Amino acid sequence: MELVEGVATVGGERFPDTDAFVDQLADIGAEYAVTVQAFDARYVVGEQHLARAVTLADRERARGNAIARDRAVEILLYAAGRRQIRRALDIGVSEGETPAVVLVASDGPTGDETRASEAVAQLLADQQTLGEYDPDRVRAFFDIGDPELAATDATLADLVLERVALLVVER
């Protein structure tokens, strides 16, 4: 798994809408035999957040318990800790300028994550975005309130990772 950071600009000449941006990512995925999924970096609490989503999504797919048909969507659902695709899309890239982190994960032994990551980087304005999450946005999305934070010594990132892991249980 590789992560590409940068700012995605959707709504301009290059990508008139999110569908055009997502289609370009899908084309890169198909060309290099990888899964490509973009996230709004303001919701991603760190690399481990996305790594856990990939691990859990792949494990459930291998067991025949996938929620979605598409691996990228499955990873998105786990990263969001949600079973509903529409709600999970809130943590994806949207219109305007979005600080993004794009996950590139091989679909098998022939997948070329390095070349796919280089292609993805060409779609983004170079900028560090991972680790720049918005705590209030994250707390609201993952429904983490003051009482929960006060009841534990876990960090916000720890609680998000718990939400990601709990999606398996919430069947």
Instruction: Say which residues have a Cβ less than 8 Å from residue 127's Cβ, sequence separation at least 6.
Output: 5, 6, 7, 99
The domain locations on the chain are 2-166
Amino acid (1-letter code) at residue 123: L
Q: Are 76 and 159 in contact (CB under 8 A)?
A: no
Give the pLDDT confidence score for residue 170 in this predicted structure: 58
The predicted-structure confidence for 93-114, as pLDDT tens digits, reads as follows 999 999 999 999 999 899 999 9
Residue 122 confidence class, pLDDT cut points 50, 70, 90: very high
C-alpha span between 126 and 123 (Å, rounded): 9
Q: Please check whether residue 139 is in contact with residue 156, taking contact to mean a CB–CB distance below 8 angstroms.
A: yes
Helices and strands counted in the chain (H then E): 8, 3
Nearest to 54 by CA among 169, 161, 134, 132: 161
Element holding 97 (H helix, E strand)? strand 96-106
**Range 73-78 average pLDDT:** 96
pTM of the predicted model as reported, rounded to 2 decimal places: 0.94
How many angstroms from the chain centroid is the CA of residue 93? Answer: 9
DSSP-derived letter for residue 131 is T
* pLDDT value at 168 more than 90: no
Q: How far is CA 85 from the centre of its chain?
A: 13
- 150-159 pLDDT, tens digit each: 999 999 999 9
DSSP-based three-state secondary structure for 21: helix
CATH 3.30.2380.10, domain 2-166, yes or no = yes
